[in-house]
Structure 1
Amino acid sequence: MTAGFGFGSGDVGYLSSAAGAAALAEVEALALADSTRIADVAALRRRFAERTPALLETVLLRRRAAAKLDALPGTAQWLFTDEALQQASAAPVARHRARRIARAAPDTVVHDVTCSIGTELAALTEVTDRVLGSDLDPVRLAMARHNLDGAGSVRAGSVRAEVVRADALAPVSRGTVVLADPGRRGGGRRRFDPADYQPALDRLLEVYAGRDMVVKVAPGIDFEKIELLGFQGEIEVTSWRSSVREACLWSPGLTEPGVRRRAVILDRDEQITDADPQDCAVRPAGRWIIDPDGAVVRAGLVRHYGTRHGLWQLDPDIAYLSGDELPTGVRGFEVLESLNYSEKRLRQALTARDCGALEILVRGVRDVQADPDALRRRLRLRGSVALSVVITRIGTGAAARAIAFVCRPSR
């Protein structure tokens, strides 16, 4: 196994050479499947000796990167480290951010102070010719130079981006929009505390105080901690392919006045902010139940989203929405029946409907929310129909009750 291989500058030099490119083409031609992996690796070691780990890791990382980055030109020939690939934004997310920066500051140089292997630079050079990248890690910086096809500078068509070695906490540019993606992984583990980011989030905000700045952070970051650090701008949460990808901090000069939260749903090219109307009623379930996109929930904009689409809440503290019509392009759950939740009642209702495959959605009911798969196993369903069940809490205090909605998914 070569996962997590530690590339050195010599490896990058070799992989970037004509000989390295030819060797990579040979490795790429191999299946490297579980059934052939041992034989393939043995053959590679005979052919390439000590170069084998770097070659093998690069090909495996390129295959992993395809679904994430193939929208960016040339990424099939990029170099990666495992950790850098894990943290790199998916191409649609990076492109969204690049376009937004270009709109907000069209005549300003954008300086990616943690450019790593160059994903953000590649997206930026599609929309602006005023781009600078820097990083402290010499291996990742060499990979960025290779990935963006140059030595010390990069070109994408006629667009040029300078790439230099520098510490993000020792500014080397003035009057730029600063883009930062502090490291949130180390030793194979994620860093959840912003004080443990590399560089630490509080230091980044301090060093670039008063500058136009965009900072990528983990989507699960505590928003209150960010406010305690003195950040007064906008927190944007972005989803792609129905999955929350990241949160991003935008300094006040790069966003609209009064906007502090934004949800971006790239799959539907939809954005919701806390400046939008939020006159969302609370009513019993209608024909459909909608589980809002994770970016909407994470950004705390469920009421705003519901108002936009003519929906209402089942409970003011629960993120499920309901309506008599399903918004275009949104997956929903058509209510077939509702019942006071208990496993026995739910099993009886599902058995009566010949349910065999069950999707479980749950909010506000702790014992089920802790392990919905365990509930599915206990129900022991043997039918032929695929259904969904939405289990949630309605009401608070002594009036609170758990309700199960047996549903037919729209797709």
Structure 2
Amino acid sequence: MPYAFSLDDVAFLRSAEGERVLAECAALDASRIADVEKARRIAGDRAAAVLETVLLRRKAGAKLDAAENWLFTGDALQQASASAVARHRASRLTGRDVHDVTCSIGADLVELARVAGRALGSDVDEVRLAMARHNCPDVPLVRADALRPVSRGAVVIADPARRDAKGRRWRPEDFAPPLDQLAEAYAGRDLAVKCSPGLDWAALPWADEVELVSLDGQVREACLWTGDLATAARRATVLRTDGPQWTITSDEPDDVGAGEPGEWIIDPDGAVVRAGLVKHYGARHGLWQLDERIAYLTGDTPPPGVRAFRVVEHGPYSEKTLRALLKRHDVGRLEILVRGLDVDPDALRKRLKLRGDADATVVLTRIGRAPVTFLCQAVRIPLR
């Protein structure tokens, strides 16, 4: 169970003495008995809060920028947007007055405050709000229920809780606060709601735009935009820490069909797939589908900056024919990609008992009702 911070814990951690103790314990490891004993000697009855904070700060380094001195709860850090994702969302609100009504420990709020005309944060959780005062010292904060508006005119940002003691919540009505109640509370105001990327958007007719966001190839979250904030029905935004970001919307052409395999197979970014924009992405880059119901694209020129798969050989799929194909090409290390077939890549790899020296990628899919194998070489396409 994660440590449950109290207001007294937060007050101590924010104090000069708390900062000294945290610095002294920064290198300790809570999994080592000797380090726990040392923390108790240094921090006394605050040792558990100190060690938890040290652990959370280490975890935060992979997710948040410049948060080495922040305060967190475990659940708040888990739900916080990565800084790159929060920055992207904030960029759509440049110059607007913004009220983050579920500000938690302030991961989104700190990015909003940098670009907003004015920024305000509120939360019903006193402990998280106290941590936000430490993490965002220049932003005004108030304690308030997100379903009881305390501001006027500002854009409303919300990040409802998606976990409880039983685990992750999947139904919009089970979020805290529930999504429909949130939309009703701020009817007539521009609203942006961060939520899970796997939600059924058709059940949320008040959302004027659904944006799926990925970071470094992993779909991180969705954001529902309303009113003047919405500029397309569906949007996919692809962010990278080592390259440029790009976006595609449902307003772009989608006039691609299915055809014979080209020289390359393209597996579109997960944000594009979840946003239902595979055809739009194909049309942008001169690609077409192998099958209109499958998200793989194909073509003779891959898009820049992607990991694409050059087709070496393809034909009907069965384990027997695949095993023979891999043996013929001396494949011993194999990446398996699957869409449209009931195949477990890990289980299949074990059954294949590979013995060769070459690396390869195999794409397993179907065209119509026929299962198909594509033996490929993975290539990182440079940016033009």
TM-score, normalised on structure 1?
0.90
- The structural deviation recorded for 1:33 is 8.2
Amino acid paired to 2:211: E
Q: Counterparts in 2 of 1:363-382, with a 5 A limit?
A: 363-366=339-342, 368=343, 371-382=344-355
Secondary structure (helix, strand or coil) at the match of 2:211 reads strand
Identity of counterpart residues, as a percentage?
56
Aligned counterpart for 1:49 among listed residues 40, 44, 50: 44
The answer to whether the aligner puts 1:304 opposite 2:280 as a matched pair is yes
Amino acid paired to 1:243: Q
How many residues of Structure 1 are paired with residues of Structure 2 in the alignment? 377
Q: 2:111 is matched with which residue?
A: 123
| Distance in 2 separating the partners of 1:218 and 1:173 | 26
Q: What are the superposed Cα offsets for residues 30-79 of structure 1, whole Å, 9 maximum, x if unpaired?
A: 3x286xx2221122123323211101110110110101102xx4x11000
Q: 2:356 is matched with which residue?
A: 383
Q: Given that residues 21 and 42 in structure 2 are in contact (C-alpha distance below 8 angstroms), is that contact kept between their aligned partners in structure 1?
A: no
Amino acid paired to 1:376: R
| Distance in 1 separating the partners of 2:207 and 2:304 | 35
The answer to whether the aligner puts 1:233 opposite 2:208 as a matched pair is yes
Amino acid paired to 1:263: A
| Distance in 1 separating the partners of 2:327 and 2:69 | 53
The answer to whether the aligner puts 1:198 opposite 2:176 as a matched pair is yes
Q: 1:157 is matched with which residue?
A: none
Q: 1:144 is matched with which residue?
A: 132
- The structural deviation recorded for 1:232 is 4.4
Secondary structure (helix, strand or coil) at the match of 2:301 reads coil
Amino acid paired to 1:265: V
| Distance in 2 separating the partners of 1:307 and 1:114 | 39
Secondary structure (helix, strand or coil) at the match of 1:198 reads coil
Q: What are the superposed Cα offsets for residues 73-118 of structure 1, whole Å, 9 maximum, x if unpaired?
A: 4x1100000100010000000000001012xxx3x42000000000
Q: 2:305 is matched with which residue?
A: 329
Amino acid paired to 1:142: A
Q: 1:248 is matched with which residue?
A: 223
| Distance in 1 separating the partners of 2:252 and 2:117 | 34
RMSD: 1.3
Runs of 4+ aligned residues of structure 1 deviating over 6 Å after TM superposition are: none
Amino acid paired to 1:357: R
Q: Given that residues 93 and 115 in structure 2 are in contact (C-alpha distance below 8 angstroms), is that contact kept between their aligned partners in structure 1?
A: no
Amino acid paired to 1:361: L
- The structural deviation recorded for 1:283 is 1.0
Amino acid paired to 1:216: K
| Distance in 1 separating the partners of 2:362 and 2:227 | 42
The answer to whether the aligner puts 1:97 opposite 2:86 as a matched pair is no
Aligned counterpart for 1:218 among listed residues 185, 192, 196: 196
- The structural deviation recorded for 1:356 is 1.2
Amino acid paired to 1:305: Y
Secondary structure (helix, strand or coil) at the match of 1:125 reads helix
Q: Given that residues 161 and 176 in structure 2 are in contact (C-alpha distance below 8 angstroms), is that contact kept between their aligned partners in structure 1?
A: yes
Aligned counterpart for 1:175 among listed residues 153, 169, 173: 153
| Distance in 2 separating the partners of 1:49 and 1:383 | 59
Amino acid paired to 1:355: V
In structure 1, runs of 5+ residues without a counterpart are: 155-160
Secondary structure (helix, strand or coil) at the match of 1:114 reads coil
Aligned counterpart for 1:407 among listed residues 370, 376, 383: 376
- The structural deviation recorded for 1:252 is 2.7
| Distance in 2 separating the partners of 1:408 and 1:221 | 34
| Distance in 1 separating the partners of 2:30 and 2:262 | 49
Q: 1:158 is matched with which residue?
A: none
Q: 2:293 is matched with which residue?
A: 317
